[in-house]
Amino acid sequence: MDDCIFCKIIKGEIPSKKVYEDEHTYVFLDIAKDVDGHMLVIPKTHCVNILDAPADVLHHVMDTVQKVSNHLVKNCGYDGVNTFNCNNECASQSVFHFHMHIIPRKNNDKLAGWPPAFEGARDDLDLTLEKVKMM
């Protein structure tokens, strides 16, 4: 996609701090500099988000998320990672090229592991189940 910033990063048209690359994925440090080591895993195939990503693209991205996460824990001194993904504007997706975030974590780093904006469910669990179940 010609106007996609992540596609431009993959093509080398925009510089990035590359962490890892293979045939299907590209991993780079997030320029937000909000947390040390915050990185993004993107597929080299453009898709908007997880809702339209083909199964093989999802598979390659998750393989890379696992590979990089294991590297962070086994070789870089981190104790764990948070991984997350936002889909569509209502969920705070800001770049419309599928990507997964990896946040390296250390014990007692005082970072929130769960979004603090959640205020609690409003609906009864049985009502929610009836709405979302797939059987």
Q: Which of 60, 97, 99, 101 is an active site residue?
A: 99
59-68, long-range: CB < 8 A, 24+ apart: 60/24, 60/25, 61/24, 61/25, 61/98, 61/100, 62/100, 63/25, 64/20, 64/22, 64/24, 64/25, 64/27, 65/41, 65/100, 65/102, 67/20, 68/19, 68/20, 68/27, 68/39, 68/41, 68/102
Residue 59 is a catalytic residue: no
- Which residues are annotated as catalytic? 99
